[in-house]
Structure 1
């Protein structure tokens, strides 16, 4: 195994674990979570399935939607589906909900920044997109719709579904929507693994 190959695998594992842990931080902050996590919370409340495993189930369902879109999963896709949920459960078992507002804001902010770093690590490893990102790019390719429109439609749909199921929507949800893109834009160039000399570019990274 080459150095770059070992680095990519290590980045993937660390990024996926930190991604799940960051979700737990934002959930414990109780200020609102991302649209997909609103759906996960709502599904968990309705079914009694722990949030982390509900996240796995949603990821698997989304992955099945790739089939008619002819999207191909990578190693990173599989690890995302399998490990983000359990790592979120680890975080939920360790963390508790702060009593004071300032502590909740601090916990949410830390979770948001950590999620951006985790995304930079995971996406920068170039080992395949997450199921939700692949759904977005697949719909974009299949129907020729702008990426921003597809992303907005998907996020809006899951947000409404999650809210109807009882998921937590708050100021944190708005902050997530406004800040996560710019934060990942900062993190990704820092952690992106360079291409091997002469290697064909890998487009399936976002």
Structure 2
């Protein structure tokens, strides 16, 4: 097997691993009932309001953003994009059912919030390091920065979109809490830290280099 094919296969496997970690993290956050990340919060609100499965709403919301992404930043669309749209919501539903056997006391819920936040951020860091596509919501800030709100940076735009998502979720009855707040403030630094560590590990231990 050539080096390029080997690297592509490894990157695909890493992308799938990252998506699974994100889905598991979202399930833990949902189990904690302390709130989830802003985009998921919005989709939970929509799913509850219309009484439709969360997985379907998660996929539908991503498809809407994908249409914008395909027009503005098509190079960011790859395996990770597709899996993020089709798999994350349904896999999160599956993992949440699996976690239903745990007691719903304060201690377990607090643990679930912490482990969920870490898993989500680590999963994003992992799948971004694979460099095989990015989810539509993660790409939204880039689209807005390049095409509409050029006076603001990605961090500021991401904060605006997160606030809008939370507002929609709250208006439609989605639960929010300290987990939502922590996600808003900690996601960026944690993802950046995890991505740097994963990048170093992949480049030095896993991916092969051409000579």
CA distance in 2, matches of 1:153, 1:68: 22
Q: Quick one: distance in 2 between partners of 1:58 and 1:69?
A: 17
Residue equivalent to 1:115? 120
Q: Which residue of structure 1 aligns with residue 37 of structure 2?
A: 34
8 Å contact kept, 2:162–2:184: no
Count of residues in Structure 1 that have an aligned counterpart in Structure 2: 199
Post-superposition Cα deviations, 1:10-51, rounded to whole Å, max 9, x if no partner, equal 101111112112101100110111111111110110111111
By how many angstroms is 1:64 displaced? Answer: 1.6
Deviation at residue 118 of structure 1 after TM alignment: 0.8
| Residue of structure 1 equivalent to 2:185 | 178
1:144-198 Cα distance to aligned partner (Å, 9 max, x none): 2321221111111111111101111111111111222221122101222448757
Q: Within 2, Cα distance between the matches of 1:4 and 1:92?
A: 33
Shift of 1:69: 3.0
CA deviation vs aligned residue, 1:83-138 (integer Å, no higher than 9, x gap): 11121111111012633211110011011111111111111100111101111101
Q: Which runs of 5+ in 2 are unaligned?
A: none
What aligned pairs does 1:22-171 form with structure 2 within 5 A after superposition? 22-72=25-75, 73-96=77-100, 98-143=103-148, 144=150, 145-171=152-178
More helix, by proportion: 2
Runs of 4+ in structure 1 displaced over 4 angstroms? 195-198
TM-score normalised by structure 2 residue count: 0.86
TM-score normalised by structure 1 residue count: 0.88
Gaps of 5+ in 1: 199-206
Alpha carbons 2:15, 2:79 under 8 Å: kept: no
Task: Label 1:55 to 1:187 Cα distance change in 2 as closer, same or farther (>3 A).
Answer: same
Query: Residue 6 of structure 2: which of 3, 7, 26 is its match?
Result: 3
